[in-house]
Amino acid sequence: MSGCHDAVTATVGVILTSYQTIMNTGDVRPENPGNSDLYKKITDNDPEDWMPPPPRQALSPAQTETLRKWIAQGARNNKCYSGCDTTQFTFNTTILPIINDNC
Ligand code: HEM
């Protein structure tokens, strides 16, 4: 947001407007959330240091966990396509047809 980590303000050089800028400036270490500034800043115990800075609302535990999991999973630029129901994801119905058709 303006005044914070948008491309214009870029507070302390951190720009959080796209995957590229987050990976280039947010100090994200794939598979290592504990050493990633992006995660350390949102889980900091000191209100002087944590992000977003007060009086802004801190991220919820669910949001923080989502960020931790994304970094732990490799901080990939992936996305879920509509209709991607992972609960219905099985070898026989999903993988075998791909192998049969292409291998
Ligand atoms: C979840 C949202 C946010 C994340 C992940 C985030 C992340 C970061 C990171 C990684 C740094 C660099 C820390 C360093 O180099 O030591 C930082 C610094 C900073 N950010 Fe944020 N930020 C967030 C929200 C905000 C917002 C909303 C503002 C403006 C109100 C803001 C203002 C600042 C300022 C002033 C600094 C430099 C001082 C400091 O390190 O505490 N940030 N932020």
Tens-binned pLDDT, residue by residue, of the chain (103 aa) = 888 999 999 889 999 999 999 999 999 999 999 999 999 999 998 988 899 998 999 999 999 999 999 999 999 998 766 556 666 678 888 889 989 998 8
To test the pocket of ligand 1, the residue of 14, 19, 66 to mutate (highest count of ligand atoms within 8 Å of its CB) is: 14
* pLDDT value at residue 91: 86
C-alpha span between 88 and 4 (Å, rounded): 41
User: Ligand 1: distance of its center to the CA of 78 in Å?
Assistant: 24
* pLDDT value at residue 62: 96
Q: What is the 3 state secondary structure string of the chain?
A: CCCCCCCCCCHHHCCCCCHHHHHHHCCCCCCCHHHCHHHHHHCCCCCCCCCCCCCCCCCCHHHHHHHHHHHHCCCCCCCCCCCCCHHHCCHHHHHHHHHHHHC
* pLDDT value at residue 43: 94
Residues enclosing ligand 1, CB less than 6 A?
1, 3-5, 11-12, 14, 26-27, 37-38, 41-42, 49, 51-53, 56, 59
* pLDDT value at residue 26: 93
User: CA–CA distance from 79 to each of 8, 18, 75, 76, 82 (Å)?
Assistant: 27, 14, 11, 9, 10
Could you tell me if 46 and 54 are in contact, meaning their C-beta atoms sit under 8 angstroms apart? no
C-alpha span between 61 and 53 (Å, rounded): 16
